Amino acid sequence: MTTEVRRQAIIQNKLGLHARAATKLAKLTYQFDAEVFIEQNGKEVDASSVMCLLLLASAQGHEITVIARGSEAEQAVEAVTALIEARFDEDA
């Protein structure tokens, strides 16, 4: 049975999910034995794809859902939401 974990998050950094932030998020997903997705306004995309993440056009203040499926789903969701809450380690 595949475990699925979901958690809401708010994009907090000033520039939103721009290229550098999307790259950081995508690279993070490869560390886990789980498939990670980001959902916004009913559209779900593969979080390991920078292009897919950019197509969401997630701006500051947008609510997203982090979804992970797999044996390390919980750890993946924890790490991705922590990165989002840390504003992708950006100053603003």
CATH number reported for the structural domain that contains residue 12 in this entry: 3.30.1340.10
Q: What is the pTM of this model?
A: 0.94
Name the domain count of the chain: 1
* Residue 67 lies in domain: 4-89
CA distance 8 to 65: 4
Annotated catalytic residue within 18, 20, 24, 62: 18
List per-residue pLDDT tens for the chain, 92 residues long.
Answer: 679 999 999 999 999 999 999 999 999 999 999 999 999 999 999 999 999 999 999 999 999 999 999 999 999 999 999 999 999 988 75
Q: Which residues pair with 42 in a beta bridge?
A: none
Check if 62 is active-site.
no
In 43-74, which positions are buried (b, 16+ CB within 10 angstroms) versus exposed (e)? eebebbebebbbebebeeebebebbbebebbe
